[in-house]
Amino acid sequence: RDLVYKPDLIDKPEGKNVLILAPHFDDATLGCGGTIIKHASKKDNLSIVYLTDGKEGIPKIKNKEHVNSIRKNEARKAMQILGVRKIYCLNEPECYEGITSSLVDRLTLIIKNEDPDIIYIPWFLDNHVDHVKFNNILSIVYNKINLKCNICSYEVWTPLIPNVIVDISDEVETKIKAVKCFKSQLDNVNYLDTVLGINKYRTIYNKKGKGYAEAFLLLPINKYFELFKNEIS
């Protein structure tokens, strides 16, 4: 019996200028690391923007600037493994909902400079205040400059209902190496096993449980923010 709905299995989303938005230093590696590797293998232009400064991410270390340095270095190592060469840090405090005009202007400038065909971002119902905040910021930028591109939203804390699946079986070992760069975070939560678990589960539709895959909601930006507005309001 055919499924009522099955997402499309694709090699990777289309796009040569790829901008990845990550609320925290480990989010993109966890949520779309395998697909980032695929973009890098095709010589796509890859840039990443980190929203928060990570200073609350290692509670046992009291020196917050030291925490920031540790987490940035972890991210740099992970991005080197994945193939991302350009990194931006907005250095916002974690778990702070406020959005300033300066923050919007900084992201606007980055987006204008990078001119993305596709933007990766955690989906708008991903259950973390910083993940929702980044969607809010991007929606403001979208309305401000009439941005035209695709949005490829990924999952970190909350599984999404995907319309595309990317097979990352050949990339999973490299993704594992990148995830292991975030030692400060793996000391607190076993992200490696949890992300591999959902990547295994995501093969259930199209690959009968074989290999590993990442799942996405891939939409034109106007359609994405129509959904966002309806769900968040």
* 3-state secondary structure at position 39: helix
Name residue 121's amino acid.
I
DSSP letter (8 states) at residue 214: E
User: Which pLDDT does position 2 carry in this prediction?
Assistant: 56
User: Which pLDDT does position 5 carry in this prediction?
Assistant: 78
Measure the CA–CA gap between 222 and 142, rounded to whole angstroms: 9
Per-10-residue mean pLDDT, the chain, length 233: 77 98 98 98 98 94 96 98 97 95 98 98 97 97 95 97 98 98 95 97 95 98 94 73
DSSP letter (8 states) at residue 86: E
User: Which pLDDT does position 223 carry in this prediction?
Assistant: 97
The string of DSSP codes covering 154-194 is E-SSS----SEEEE-TTTHHHHHHHHTT-HHHHTTS-HHHH
The CA-based angle 67-99-127, given to 5 degrees, is 70
User: Which pLDDT does position 210 carry in this prediction?
Assistant: 97
Beta strands 118-122 and 45-52 are unpaired
Rg (CA), the chain: 17
User: Which pLDDT does position 15 carry in this prediction?
Assistant: 96
User: Which pLDDT does position 1 carry in this prediction?
Assistant: 46
Beta strands 86-92 and 164-167 are unpaired
The CA-based angle 72-78-79, given to 5 degrees, is 90
Strand positions, DSSP E, the chain? 8-10, 17-22, 45-52, 86-92, 118-122, 150-154, 164-167, 213-220
Burial 170-208 (b: 16+ CB within 10 A, else e): ebbebbbebbbbbebbbeeeebeeebbebbbebbebbbe
What are the two backbone dihedrals, phi and then psi, of residue 165, each rounded to the nearest 5 degrees? -125, 135
